[in-house]
Structure 1
């Protein structure tokens, strides 16, 4: 099966660079699957997991916090504010972030930015689910 080069890049630098046979990502309009030779496109991404199918049939997972996917026939680039491959996620840190976000959401005070707390909650849950493979 044909392969395509995938790069996941954040402002801090590259996170992933490898050959895969398929990329599955969550866009703002739904989930997409992209194979080598796909027509060029750009789509906005949501907080979620990116599934990367290797030539041997196994999957690698990466947690991303939004961004964009740019597809070209020979290369797929994912530009995200933050991203981590499953093997590098610190679950204890993610669970602490989840606990903090839940605490903020439970407060009934005016000084709590609920939208920001909800996004923090989604990012923490995504990181935990990706690391545990619950996708």
Structure 2
């Protein structure tokens, strides 16, 4: 089975590190799936999105990721985010409340709603 090293790093901490067989992410130009030996690339992450890592052992890891970029060199994928939270770290009720109370009439409200939806997706409570 092919595998790649994956490091998910936020400004404040290393969020996740291990070997994986697949990674899904949302970039500024669309969704991307990355397999081991993927062609080298650098992509900007969306301001609020969900990253799913399918490790070689264990269940999928989901994280809400806010800003940053990813870099693939063929053998190693590095995801550098401004902020990131693992799905099991997310307070689902707070994220639901933030989503429901966001005012979509302005850019700040739309951004707050997108962040809340990314958190919910990472926690397994929203769409992927």
Q: Secondary structure at the match of 1:38?
A: coil
1:45 paired with 2:45, answer: yes
CA offset at residue 10 of structure 1? 1.2
TM-score normalised by the chain length of structure 1: 0.82
Residues 54-133 of structure 1 mapped to structure 2, 5 A cutoff? 54-56=55-57, 58-101=59-102, 104-105=103-104, 114-133=106-125
Q: Secondary structure at the match of 2:51?
A: strand
Greater radius of gyration (CA): 1
> Residue 21 of structure 2 aligns with which residue?
21
Q: How many matched pairs?
A: 126
Aligned equivalents of 1:91 and 1:62: distance in 2?
Answer: 13
CA offset at residue 57 of structure 1? 7.5
Structure 1: 5+ residue stretches without partners: 107-113
- Is the helix fraction higher in 1 or 2? 1
Structure 2: 5+ residue stretches without partners: none
Residues 1-16 of structure 1 mapped to structure 2, 5 A cutoff? 1-16=1-16
Q: CA RMSD in A?
A: 1.8
